[in-house]
Amino acid sequence: MSKILIVDDEIGIRELLSEILRDEGHDIELAANAAAARTARAAARPDLVLLDIWMPDTDGITLLKEWAGNGQLTMPVVMMSGHATIDTAVEATRIGALDFLEKPIGMQKLLATVKQALERGARQADSGLSLAAFNRPGPLRDLKRRLEQMLARRSLLLLHSAPGGLVELVARTAQPAGKPWHDLGQEADALDSGQLRRLAGGVLWCEELARLTRLQQKNLLFAAEQLERHGLRLIASTSRSRSELAALGWEEVALERLFEAVLSVPALSVLQDEIPDIASHLLTQQVEAEKLPLHRFSSAALNALRQHAWPGGYGELKAAVRSLALASLTEEIGADDVSALLPPPAIAVPSGLPPGLIDQPLREAREAFERLYFEYHLANGGGNMTQLAEKTGLERTHLYRKLKDLGLRQ
């Protein structure tokens, strides 16, 4: 028995489709709008969604984009409408919809489409979190717009970022829903045309050019020459400069091809205000991928994540969210959970202090500092006591006594 979620603002359509599909033995969930659909989709984990395009709060195309961007498009979706254009149907398919039903929907057409969708889409592979999930104005949405603008003109794109940047998040945005994703950095054998043909329409990915072996470099260049033939995109990234890659053995002709179109990607350390949003979306994705009970971060937990330094960048954040999702015993993940996983880093000892000074008791540390202080000013003033008294603001009698106590005068 399959779980099917029917999303339509017309009660008559919902009841008719529900009755037909229940008679076929399916378990049916109903939603009258996008808000209810989000809740039902998260709770029921349906095997198929029948999604109306025209709804009063959020239209079906927007909801489909949201699920795709969040990594929640793990089930086949069939769009429904009585007024959609061909362009709308094409856009829905591009985003990840499996099929399209035109209203009024005939029973035989409905049953045939549902049967085909369940057979073909029994849990699509998770495509991962992408920039499509971030819709509010800000650096991530701007980054998505720049990426899309470049991809409209180039099938090969180089992402340049400091270590720990959001390159994977950006690259996943280039992956069409339901299409293959192939990591060239994990390829141990030579690529051939047959393999590229099987990956048609998908994305070839390389996380760091500097780590590629000679064979993997040849694979990348071989694939770069056949992107158009197979409808592929090649997204590579590096934290190195062109000259540094050349010093590592990359041929100039290859570097010229790779550096034709470069997109700068910010490191996580400069996106502190975006971290709560990124973490929340990563948590949603992890719950889906691991089929975990629903979890959410408390406001205090999100603030703790925002304030963490994340020296390991995006990879460290992903790993932390995964650990928090797997270990949480309650629906809400709190600040204490974050603190237990990510203890505050040790504060570095200020540079220039004598070894061991910071670890002494306060009285001994103060005396050691005063000795250094007076030794410095004595030497700097050539031993002139009048000048030293003026510099330190001490009366001469008090100054002599202080120097004697510190062993700097007999």
Residue spans in the chain of domains classed CATH 1.10.10.60: 357-405
How much is the pLDDT for 125?
A: 47
What is the number of alpha carbons within 13 Å of residue 408 lying toward its C-beta?
20
Tell me the CATH number for domain 272-341: 1.10.8.60
Q: Is the peptide bond before 104 cis (omega within 30 degrees of 0)?
A: yes
Cα separation values, 180 from 103, 203, 253, 293, 397, Å: 32, 6, 28, 28, 84
How much is the pLDDT for 113?
A: 92
Residue spans in the chain of domains classed CATH 1.10.8.60: 272-341
Average of per-residue pLDDT values in the chain? 87
Stretch (H or E) spanning 61: helix 60-69
Dihedral over Cα of 70, 74, 80, 86: its sign = positive
Q: What's the CA gap between 147 and 163, in Å, rounded?
A: 19
Task: Judge residue 331's burial from the number of C-beta atoms within 10 Å of its C-beta, 0-12 exposed, 13-18 middle, 19 or more buried.
Answer: exposed
How much is the pLDDT for 72?
A: 77
Q: What's the CA gap between 291 and 118, in Å, rounded?
A: 19
Stretch (H or E) spanning 156: strand 156-160
Angle between helices 396-405 and 362-380 (to 10 degrees): 120
Long-range CB pairs of 189-192, under 8 A, 24+ apart, other chains included: 189/215, 190/215, 190/218, 190/219, 190/222, 191/219, 191/222, 191/223
Q: Is domain 357-405 in CATH 1.10.10.60, yes or no?
A: yes
Whether 234 contacts 258, CB under 8 Å: no
Cα separation values, 357 from 28, 212, 349, 362, Å: 71, 47, 10, 9
Whether 202 contacts 186, CB under 8 Å: no
3-120 fold = Rossmann fold (3.40.50)
Task: Give CA torsion, residues 161, 165, 166, 168, to 10 deg.
Answer: 80
Give the chain's end-to-end CA distance (angstroms, integer): 97
Residue numbers of the chain with a pLDDT score lower than 70: 71, 84, 121-127, 345-353, 355, 410
Q: Is domain 131-266 in CATH 3.40.50.300, yes or no?
A: yes
What pTM value is reported for the model?
Answer: 0.64
Rg (CA), the chain: 31
Contacts of 318 (CB under 8 A, 6+ apart): 282
Q: What's the CA gap between 215 and 394, in Å, rounded?
A: 73
Q: What's the CA gap between 233 and 230, in Å, rounded?
A: 9
DSSP state of 273: G
Which among 398, 408, 380 is positioned nearest to 389, based on CA atoms?
398
Q: What's the CA gap between 7 and 49, in Å, rounded?
A: 7
Q: What's the CA gap between 127 and 402, in Å, rounded?
A: 71
How much is the pLDDT for 122?
A: 47
How much is the pLDDT for 397?
A: 81
Q: What is the pLDDT of residues 251-296, one digit of tens each?
A: 999 999 999 999 999 988 889 999 999 999 999 888 877 778 888 9
Q: What is the pLDDT of residues 326-354, one digit of tens each?
A: 999 899 999 999 999 987 765 565 666 67
